[in-house]
A and B are shown apart, each in its own frame.
Chain A
Amino acid sequence: MPKSLKTNTDVSQGVRDFLKHLLESGKVKGVLALKKMDGSGAASYAFMTSAKELAEAEPLAPLMPANAGKILSELTLKEAFGEPVAAFLRPCELRAFTELLKRLQGSRENVLLISPTCGGVFPLKFLADGSAKEKVPAYQQAARKGKNAEGLRAACRACTDFIPCQADITVAFAGGADSDSSCRLFLETPRGEEFARGAPGTFGEEKLETRELAGLREERAAQKAALFQDIGKAIQGPSALARTFSACLGCHGCSHVCPICHCLLCVFDSKMHDSQPEGFDSELERKGGTRIPAGTLFFHIGRMTHMAVSCVQCGMCSDVCPVDIPVTEVFSLVGDSLQKVLEYVPGRDVEEPVPSGTYKEDEFAQVGEQ
């Protein structure tokens, strides 16, 4: 049973206090978390090294301007941190980071990973129109009760992986019935315990699982089933798939914000996929017409082939799409199906290798080899 640390403040303040303690005691030299940008409720990830800046942190702000797993990977891509730091990231962001670690795109060394049971985030458009701030109280209430708040990202509404995997410290947010007056931190690993030593609050043996958490799990599972069913129908057959992506501009924003897409120059952005003049003649002969720019759907299917096995359903892709294509829904459905076949859960365990790089002898039998 993991140890717990409880303080008598609302969870946001509690987290802030804990991070402040870590920084001021010198246990960590920097903290990666969401930070207020201005009064409008906008937030951005920031790497904070001073208590003054940390006082503006809003780790539980219901926004994901960028996937923090991707950010953490970029921070540690060239070398591991030589000094201890803390990072506050959502379960999907943490799972994304884990998937990136498996691909050698970062290092966990010296990083204290703190993650909440997640109440979801609002789409970026609320960041844009400044309405995020006023939605916060209702959001927090819904999270406490183990319910989906109004207006969450579709990906979040249907997320059943909202309990962090392999975090050092878990924060009870969603499903934490009294999170408006108590902040509970669960120390999941020896590293978590070590960093929490000496922090203000009461140590105990609390339970993470609550009735509200179970309720949220149920609601989310139902939402997921419905989401997958709807999107499944919408992409049934190649013309349906084409239709779903027909508004695509080819901006590739989805891959640029996707945490799993880590290639320095995506093959679909490279010359390999530039159109060659000779290609058009045959296309026009065969079909009478061809779309310009070419390869719209091919990009998505290709990207899917490359990363769906690690898709953590964070929802950044749908959010960044200028024409509201349900990219997350499609990719997470395909990812989910693929992951089930390969018996793989992205981000579950950093030691579990990515299936595309592993070979089990019996798999060949499945493909027809004896």
Chain B
Amino acid sequence: MTSRETRKDKRAAVLPAREGIQKAVTGFLKKALERGCFEAVMMPVRAPETRSYAWLMVKNPELLDEAAPLPPVMSVQGGRALSSLTKHGAPPLSIGVVLRPCEARAAVELVKLKQIQLDDVHVITIDCPGALPLKDYVRGGENALDRFQALLEHWDEDGAIRPACERCHRFSLDISDEDRPLAPSSKNGAFPVEIHIGLLGENKEEILLIPLNPSGEETLEKLGLTPDRPLDGWAARVRALRKKKEEKRRAGHEEFKKEISGLDRFLAVFDACINCHNCQNVCPVCYCQQCHFDSPRQHLTAQRYLDRARRRGALRLPLDPLLFHLGRMSHMVLSCVSCGACEDACPVSIPVGKVFSLVADETQPHFQYTAGKSADEPLPLQSFLKSEFCEVETPSECREHQSPEVKSHA
């Protein structure tokens, strides 16, 4: 089975892209729709005269004329969109969808949280150069579109993209190990993503379609595309860019850590927070119907408010923005995929995404867990290893059960 091929042996199909990436991928999806690879396509579409993009699910290929499979902004996080579609069961038709890698990773987490059904969903991911800050795009109009075009040409323009994207090193597939298959194996043999679109090939007028599982191979076959191009060129460029991005991420996090170290400085980050909870509402991983921090449990009596105010001399209202952020963090940071939707949604530009992705990078390794990597890797909050109990019950005797990260920190 070719999908189990190692990175070295993998081959991609080549799709010409003379009129640009958006048209090429849209064309590919239209054809796939026509050839019956799936019955509907879900893509971001720019409606006429609007300033943003919205996900549209279509059966009629003509409605895809204004589609942008890789839009300049990430308006609604793709994982969240798919979840709203499939939360209560798979729709009665098969769907093809193009997602940015962080959106696919969010979808993987949502599979484990049982808030999404990908059974009849053909997920296609694409190399991602980043997205523009939503506010900039919404206020900047055509200018912003040009900036994005430039981004697709050069791929490492500084300053144009969202802070979350600048620090993102997971913009493509994990190709770290040449001798392993590209997609992590899955219990039922299917990894949620079936095809990855490589944009970083040597030839700018071509894009690579890399099949990752039997379903992906079938799709290419139905379209008459033969995977015969080796991945070395593309892999080399991905690797080079990844190295740069990893360094940016590491340096960015180090610097930010210094900026927020110490209670006063950490609190200052949230000074402007108005407790609107936009960050929680756009987060793909935050799935609770009613957040604990929106529930009536949070209401105090007038006397209690007064008592609390008296203890410190003043009580900030609306109450406890910091408790909200830290509470939300403790609930979801182990599944945080650093997509940055939270940052885009904050009306007072708090670097929420920076804080959360920093904490995610530092906490997930303690559980030897990477959010979004595999639908088979169980969620740390739902799995219990017998050895962990000894950490709690007899910690002094337990060093051999500590994870390497914890040991190195001790």
Contact = CB atoms under 8 A, between A and B. Distances in A.
Task: Answer whether A and B touch in the complex at a CB cut-off of 8 Å.
Answer: yes
Interface of A: 29-30, 32, 35, 37-38, 40, 42, 44-50, 52-54, 65-66, 71, 74-83, 85, 107, 124-125, 127-129, 243, 246-247, 249-253, 256-257, 264-265, 269-271, 274-278, 280-281, 284-285, 288-294, 296, 319-324
Nearest to B81: A292
A53 B313 contact: yes
Contact of B303 (A82, A246, A269): A82
B344 A322 contact: yes
A317 to B, nearest CB: 11
B272 A127 contact: yes
B39 to A, nearest CB: 9
A237 to B, nearest CB: 14
B94 to A, nearest CB: 12
Given A247-B52, A275-B85, A324-B138, A81 B306 contact: yes
A275 B60 CA distance: 21
Interface in B253-289: 268, 271-272, 274-278, 281-282, 289
26 contacts: A42-B272, A47-B317, A65-B272, A66-B317, A76-B302, A79-B302, A79-B303, A83-B303, A246-B50, A249-B76, A251-B278, A251-B281, A252-B281, A257-B276, A275-B84, A275-B85, A276-B88, A278-B92, A280-B57, A281-B92, A284-B57, A293-B85, A296-B54, A320-B347, A323-B135, A324-B135
B344 A44 contact: no
B150 interface: no
B224 interface: no
Contacts of B349: 125, 128-129
Contacts of B350: 128
Interface stretch (B215-223, B292-300, B386-394): B292-300
B134 A288 contact: no
A321 B75 CA distance: 12
Q: Which of B50, B80, B309, B310 has the most CB of A within 10 A?
A: B309
Contact of B40 (A42, A48, A76, A284): A284
A40 B303 CA distance: 32
A49 B313 contact: yes
A235 B313 CA distance: 48
Q: Which of A243, A251, A253, A278 has the most CB of B within 10 A?
A: A251
B281 A292 contact: no
A249 B345 contact: yes
A46 B316 contact: yes
B345 A77 contact: no
Contacts of A290: 56-58
